[in-house]
Amino acid sequence: MKILFDTSVLVAAVVEPHPMHRRALPWLQRAKAEEFDFVVASHTLAELYAVLTTLPVKPRISPAVAWRLVHENVETSAKIVSLSPSDYRSTVKHMAELGLSGGMVYDALIARAAQKSGAERLLTFNADDFTRVWPDGKAVLFVP
């Protein structure tokens, strides 16, 4: 099975005090144990780093620690799916057709990466947002 991880699940998995940590960590552990194909959108690498370095936890996560978490937990074990310029154009057009604006476009890009990779599941804690940007993807969305 091929499972694409959304940033929300990765943040929860690598940040122990996160309220969803206990639900997310087993999925990351299974992914790293190669129990299924672990897939991540290229955009997620940057988003994960950005969230980790601004998360209001004590102690703060430094840029160096954030990079290590991204590298050790994602970069070394996940298949990274990149989008083409035409993927970006079609995703933005799709958002306009749905009448959606703002940061939801980032969820739409992750949904596009799930489609492009052939992922059978998109693991997320933001299923409602993904349902809005990818109405046909409800069967693929999975909340840990």
For residue range 32-53, list pLDDT tens digits in order: 999 999 999 999 999 999 999 9
Q: Is 68 exposed, middle or buried (0-12, 13-18, 19+ CB in 10 A)?
A: middle
Question: Can you tell me whether residue 57 is helix, strand or coil?
Answer: coil
The pLDDT score that the predictor gives to residue 132 is 93
The secondary structure of residue 18, as a DSSP letter, is S
Q: What angle do CA 114, 119, 121 make, to 5 degrees?
A: 95
The pLDDT score that the predictor gives to residue 14 is 98
The pLDDT score that the predictor gives to residue 42 is 96
The pLDDT score that the predictor gives to residue 97 is 94
For residue range 62-72, list pLDDT tens digits in order: 999 999 999 99
Average pLDDT over residues 8-15: 98
Q: Which sequence spans correspond to the domains of the chain?
A: 2-142
Strand partners, 3: 38, 121
Give the model's confidence band at 133: pLDDT under 50 very low, under 70 low, under 90 confident, else very high. very high
The pLDDT score that the predictor gives to residue 24 is 98
- Using CA atoms, how far apart are residues 92 and 106, in angstroms rounded to an integer? 10
- Using CA atoms, how far apart are residues 120 and 50, in angstroms rounded to an integer? 27
The pLDDT score that the predictor gives to residue 81 is 98
For residue range 75-100, list pLDDT tens digits in order: 999 999 999 999 999 999 999 999 99
Average pLDDT over residues 124-128: 95
Average pLDDT over residues 125-139: 92
- Using CA atoms, how far apart are residues 114 and 109, in angstroms rounded to an integer? 9
Pick the CATH number of 2-142 from 2.40.30.10, 3.40.50.1010, 3.40.50.300, 3.40.50.10860: 3.40.50.1010
Give the pair of three-digit tokens for residue 2.
């091929």
Percent of the chain with pLDDT over 70: 100
Q: What is the mean pLDDT of the chain?
A: 96
Give the pair of three-digit tokens for residue 123.
């693991």
